Amino acid sequence: METTSAEARAFLERSRETLQQLAVLIRNSYLHDLSNQVFEEPLEKLVQSISQLVLTEGSFRLERSGEEFFANGNRIRMEFRSLHAYKYVLNELGKRGVGGISFESRATVPAVTAFLEVFCRAGEGENEEGSLLDRLNGELVEREVKGIKLLPSRDEVSVPESELSSDRRERALNAYQQALDFIRESMVTVDSPVQLNVRKAKRTVQKLVDLSYEEGSGFSLAGMASIKAHDDYTFNHMVNVCVLAIAFGQRLGLKRHSLAQLGLCALYHDMGKLHIPLESSTSTPVSPKRNGR
């Protein structure tokens, strides 16, 4: 599948919605019987989502690998609005030793209801490898649930390197832009170092730190330091120093906590010059918006 196409983006968005709907149904199934009226609308939505995915793709496989989900081999990006559902379903699958769910035919309400009953009533833990998974799939067969199967865990899902590189670049550019926006806002609006939003700065830097741990072919975090804009030279310079500091620190083997501290210091390395009294300089002051140092 071409991950850059509009069709692929629509597919991943529907996959994300399916994941959210699944989380709601699993969570509520611990509280109510699935025959309860409260399940009627969520079940219909899940069935429609799955059926549409199967109709367009032929089949739909929702698989976990580490802390990530993949839909037919394409990584589902974790978004803040779906973070809780994402982690909840990861945990529910993980504690049963299940690697994912395969839908090979269009879903029906009775089939999905039976699947949820089998899955949610399963206990945690049977230590013999594959025993719980085999039992659950056996129960699905006994209940004549066709086209839905639980998948075994596997270490990783094969994803084309071109897709990973493209995704890394996109997230890196987003993280860089967020850092740039943050430092620009701080330099323009902050009158005193006491007013600096250190908590927000830490979150901004942490995104760059996380990216430094997943570089691959065709992507370089340090390469982002070549980004320059004449009108925002000082802003770019401060973020670029932060990026380079993190990249060097990561190569030197610093731990994440130390990298975050290093990046934070680098991001703020020029902030002090904003607070030098203008009258203390005998020359014309340089505007931080234009020419930097």
Q: Kindly give, in sequence order, each residue whose CB lies less than 8 Å from that of residue 212, ignoring residues fewer than 6 positions away.
A: 221, 246, 247, 250, 259
- Predicted pLDDT of residue 243: 87
Q: Kindly give, in sequence order, each residue whose CB lies less than 8 Å from that of residue 223, ignoring residues fewer than 6 positions away.
A: none
Q: Answer for the pair 69, 90: CB distance below 8 angstroms, yes or no.
A: yes
Q: Answer for the pair 132, 122: CB distance below 8 angstroms, yes or no.
A: yes
Q: Answer for the pair 238, 246: CB distance below 8 angstroms, yes or no.
A: no
Taking phi over 0 as left and psi of -120 to 50 as alpha, with beta for the rest, 103 belongs to beta
Q: In what order do the strands lie in the sheet containing 60-65?
A: 74-76, 68-71, 60-65, 98-103, 148-152
Task: For the chain, 293 residues long, give each residue's pLDDT as a single digit of tens.
Answer: 333 467 778 888 899 999 999 999 998 888 888 777 878 888 999 999 999 999 888 899 999 987 788 898 888 877 767 778 888 999 999 888 899 999 999 899 999 999 999 998 876 444 444 578 889 999 999 999 989 999 988 654 454 545 545 566 667 777 778 788 887 777 666 565 555 677 788 888 887 887 777 655 444 566 666 555 544 566 778 888 888 898 888 888 888 888 889 988 888 877 666 555 545 544 444 444 444 44
- Predicted pLDDT of residue 178: 79
98-103 and 60-65 beta bridge pairing: antiparallel
